[in-house]
Amino acid sequence: MYGWLWKRIPGSIWIKCAIVSAGVLVLVVVLFLWVFPWLAPLLPFNQQTVGG
Amino acid sequence: MGKTAPPTKNDPRRARRWIAHTLGILGEVLVTLGVLLALFVVWEVWWTDVVGTRQQQEAIDDLTWRFPPIPEGGFPVVLPTEGPDDLGIPIVAEEDKHRTDSPPYEPTPEAEETFATMYVPRWGADYVKPISEGVGRRDVLDKLGIGHYPGTALPGGWGNFAVAGHRTTYGKPFDRIEELVEGDAIVVRTESIWYVYRVTETAIVYPGYSAAIAPVPGHKGAAADGRYITLTTCHPKFSASKRYIVYGVLEYWAEASAGYPEEIVLGAEESIPEVEAGVGEGP
């Protein structure tokens, strides 16, 4: 899977590394700002209210 | 091995390659899930705290009434040598403490509005957090910190002023809730009034125990008979299985213009450091 992806990223090894780093950064930002905040209240951790 | 036959559908080598390939992908998927899980933990434990602390400070800074009359740079760290008056900041006088008469009606806040602040001396002399209307995770608790259960009494009101807050994440306003003991002060400030509550009891209950926020805490359906406060948060830490509850009762209220409650200036007795020289002089 990752091997397949790696082969398809163009450029030299350094350019590949740069592209991968940028991709990982974008992924982390998307997860931190949108995916995790949406997911957290649905999980059975950290519930602090009573009733309802 | 003689002549190699072209691989056929039932060729064992082809089957082995296929199994190895599938296992490889499965491994990569599992590793990816592990990394995502680790990222989630980092986000939950660290990042929500960074953002929550900042947002809650902003909510306090945005309160027009925050600055006067809170002293510039917060309360002085200088300790009294001869009682509260020695601090040089006004303390609510005994005759200004209203213990029996009703406080003025507080205006009903809009959803998500930050309408009060909370001081808990036991949690440090600099502990101050905003209180906002609502207990929804996304709109209030996850960003604004302490949330007020809509429909329960307002600060100082007849009945139960019930609030909820995170204990381990999102700025964790209630992270030290287990340190509270009977008699500790919980001070709530609205635009014009200080309310000084005293802790009466702590409890660990199941999430469905809505009597905790009833007008008379613990007595569902009973008509209000006093001015209470209830704090709810998760228990055990990071869990949703139970709730940690702190109950309190109003001791007195005072006009904000009357000075500061000595409770928040002097702090819980244990929080007063022993050395006092030179603290106020700065670098």
ipTM: 0.90
Residue B136 is assigned to a structural domain of this protein: yes
Provide the pLDDT for residue B80.
Answer: 44
Over residues B37-62, the pLDDT tens digits come to 999 999 999 999 999 999 998 998 88
Looking at residue B128, its amino acid is V
Q: From CA A45, how far away is CA A39, in angstroms rounded?
A: 11
Looking at residue B158, its amino acid is W
Residue B237 is assigned to a structural domain of this protein: yes
Range of the domain at A27: 12-38
Q: Give which of A27, A48, A19 is closest to B172, Cα–Cα.
A: A48
Residue B281 is assigned to a structural domain of this protein: no
Residue B235 is assigned to a structural domain of this protein: yes
Residue B20 is assigned to a structural domain of this protein: no
Q: Which residues neighbour B91 within 8 Å (Cβ) at sequence distance 6 or greater?
A: B84, B85, B259, B260, B261, B262, B265
Residues of chain B with C-beta less than 8 angstroms from the C-beta of A2: 28
User: Are the beta carbons of B25 and A50 separated by less than 8 Å?
Assistant: no
SS3 (DSSP) at B167: coil
Provide the pLDDT for residue A44.
Answer: 78
Give the CATH number for residue B76.
2.40.260.10
* Rg of chain A over all Cα atoms, to the nearest angstrom: 18
Residue A2 is assigned to a structural domain of this protein: no
Provide the pLDDT for residue A36.
Answer: 93
Over residues B115-126, the pLDDT tens digits come to 999 999 888 877
Do the Cβ atoms of B93 and B258 come closer than 8 Å?
Answer: yes
Residue B62 is assigned to a structural domain of this protein: yes
Read off φ and ψ for residue B225, nearest 5 degrees: -135, 15
Residues of chain B with C-beta less than 8 angstroms from the C-beta of A50: 164, 205, 207-210, 212-213, 232, 243, 245
Q: From CA A40, how far away is CA B238, in angstroms rounded?
A: 12
Q: From CA B5, how far away is CA B14, in angstroms rounded?
A: 12
Question: Which stretches of chain B drop beneath a pLDDT of 70?
Answer: 1-9, 66-89, 267-283
Q: From CA B122, how far away is CA B185, in angstroms rounded?
A: 8
- Can you list the alpha helix ranges (DSSP code H) found in chain A? 2-8, 13-30, 36-39
Range of the domain at B95: 48-274
Residue B229 is assigned to a structural domain of this protein: yes
Provide the pLDDT for residue A52.
Answer: 53
Q: What share of chain B is helix, strand, coil (3-state, %, to 5)?
A: 30, 25, 45
Q: How much of chain A exceeds pLDDT 90, in percent?
A: 50
Average pLDDT over every residue of A39-43: 87
Strand-pairing partners, residue B164, are B147, B232
Surface of A (4-33) touching B: CB under 8 A: 28, 31-32
Q: Tokens for A28, please give them.
A: 């982390």
**Number of domains forming the structure of chain B:** 1
Over residues B156-201, the pLDDT tens digits come to 999 999 999 999 999 999 999 999 999 999 999 998 899 999 999 9
- Helices and strands (H and E) in chain B: how many: 3, 8
Residue A5 is assigned to a structural domain of this protein: no
Q: Is A51 on the interface with B (CB under 8 A)?
A: yes
Residues of chain B with C-beta less than 8 angstroms from the C-beta of A28: 39
**Number of domains forming the structure of chain A:** 1
Q: Tokens for B222, please give them.
A: 């009973």
Residue A19 is assigned to a structural domain of this protein: yes
Residue A24 is assigned to a structural domain of this protein: yes
Residue A34 is assigned to a structural domain of this protein: yes
Q: Give which of A27, A31, A36 is closest to B138, Cα–Cα.
A: A36
Provide the pLDDT for residue B274.
Answer: 41
User: Are the beta carbons of A46 and B166 separated by less than 8 Å?
Assistant: yes
Provide the pLDDT for residue B81.
Answer: 47
Residue B197 is assigned to a structural domain of this protein: yes
